[in-house]
Amino acid sequence: MLTEKIMAILFYWDYTLGMVLGDIPTSQRIAILLERQGLRYSAQDVETAIQTRQDKIRAGELQGSLSPQPRRDIIHFYRQTLSILASREVDWAFASKLYTEFGYLPTVLYGDSLPTLQSLARKGFSLGIISNNAASARRNIEMSVGSLIDPTHIVISEEIGVHKPAKTIFDLGASRVGAHPQNCVYVGDNLEVDAIGAVRRGDYRYGLWIDRKGLGVDRDLPERVTCIISLREVVGFVQYLNTKEDR
Beta bridge partners, 38, equal none
Angle formed by the axes of helices 92-102 and 26-36, to 10°? 110
Q: Is the pTM of this model over 0.75?
A: yes
In three-state form (DSSP H/G/I as H, E/B as E, the rest C), the secondary structure along 2-40 is CCCCCCEEEECCECCCEEECCCCCHHHHHHHHHHHCCCC
> Do residues 185 and 205 touch, judged by C-beta distance below 8 A?
yes
Q: How far apart (Å, rounded) are the C-alpha atoms in residues 243 and 155?
A: 29
Q: How far apart (Å, rounded) are the C-alpha atoms in residues 247 and 244?
A: 5
Q: Which residues contact 77 (CB under 8 A, 6 or more apart)?
A: 53, 64, 65, 68
Q: Which residues contact 55 (CB under 8 A, 6 or more apart)?
A: none
> Do residues 186 and 209 touch, judged by C-beta distance below 8 A?
no
Q: What is the separation of C-alpha 103 from the centre of its chain, rounded to a whole number of angstroms? A: 13
pLDDT (tens, 9 = 90+) of the chain, 247 residues, equals: 445 899 999 999 999 999 999 999 999 999 999 999 999 999 999 999 999 999 999 999 999 999 898 999 999 999 999 999 999 999 999 999 999 999 999 999 999 999 999 999 999 999 999 999 999 999 999 999 989 999 999 999 999 999 999 999 999 999 999 999 999 999 999 999 999 999 999 999 999 999 988 887 678 899 999 999 999 999 999 999 888 766 5
Phi and psi dihedrals of 59, rounded to 5?
A: -85, -5
> Do residues 69 and 133 touch, judged by C-beta distance below 8 A?
no
What DSSP designation does 231 have? T
Other beta carbons within 10 Å of 183? 18
User: Domains in the chain, please, with CATH?
Assistant: 8-20+109-246 (3.40.50.1000), 26-102 (no CATH)
> Do residues 141 and 159 touch, judged by C-beta distance below 8 A?
no
| pLDDT of the residue at 245 | 64
Which secondary-structure segment (H or E) carries 24? Answer: none
| pLDDT of the residue at 1 | 42
| pLDDT of the residue at 243 | 87
* Single-letter amino acid, residue 219: R
